[in-house]
Amino acid sequence: MIIAIDGPAAAGKGTLARRLATHFGYPHLDTGALYRAVARRLLDAGQDPTDAEAAVAAARAVTAAELQSPRLRDEEVSRATSVVSAIPGVRAALLQFQRRFATTPPGAVLDGRDIGTVVCPDAEVKLFLEAAPEERARRRAKELRDRGVPAIDARVLQDIQERDARDSGRSTAPLSRAADAYVLDTTQLDPDAAFAAALAYIATRAP
């Protein structure tokens, strides 16, 4: 079974994906980390994230080991990632990696922006997570502060809104809900409640 989880930044995709993966005994791919690793490579090499040729070369060179780096979560990387992920050649270069991961038995959980629409349009389970921007900013700011990074809610909210606009507005594989996705609004849900709601839905898809 393939479980595809999409939604905007800080809607709770990662937490839910990890819990579902553990529950079903599947591997989990955070596809945002793939795009972040491309941006990290470019920044480390002093290259410009808008340089499409350099970005595509970086996307082809990314390895699974790079996805574990804590430096992928830096805010400068978040901003550059939103730019590189709009480059069609970068998305094409990362598609094969994602599809191979998804189709390896016995199943997989992938989270991102275009999993249910582009990467795995035939996934048995598609979840689309949403939450109010203010709540997402509060969560992301707390996550940053917990890691010792100073963060102001209002500034994080502005970043999230800019990123939402870029992720939804780009022409290649924009953030959008698959017609057959189950929408889960997590604004009022803690991680346990979101997990319970997702499991209840999955039971209806794969009894």
Q: How buried is residue 47: exposed, middle or buried, by Cβ count under 10 Å (0-12/13-18/19+)?
A: middle
Residues from 139 through 168 that contact ligand DC (CB under 6 A): 163, 167
Report the alpha-carbon distance of residue 27 to residue 110 in Å, rounded: 9
Alpha-carbon distances of 138 from 32, 81, 170, rounded to whole Å? 20, 21, 25
Residues from 36 through 75 that contact ligand DC (CB under 6 A): 36
Report the alpha-carbon distance of residue 74 to residue 162 in Å, rounded: 16
Residue 202 CB, nearest approach to ligand DC (Å):
21
Which residue in 114, 120, 128, 131 binds ligand DC (CB under 6 A)? Answer: 114
Size of the site for ligand DC (CB under 6 A): 13
Does residue 107 touch ligand DC according to CB under 6 A?
no
Q: Token pair 């999955």 is at which residue?
A: 202
Q: 31-44 and 52-61 helices cross at what angle (nearest 10)?
A: 120
Q: Which stretch binds ligand DC (CB under 6 A): 19-27, 60-68, 78-86, 147-155?
A: 78-86
Does residue 136 touch ligand DC according to CB under 6 A?
no
Which residue in 28, 31, 137, 186 binds ligand DC (CB under 6 A)? Answer: 31
Footprint of ligand DC (CB under 6 A): 9, 31-32, 35-36, 81-82, 85, 112-114, 163, 167
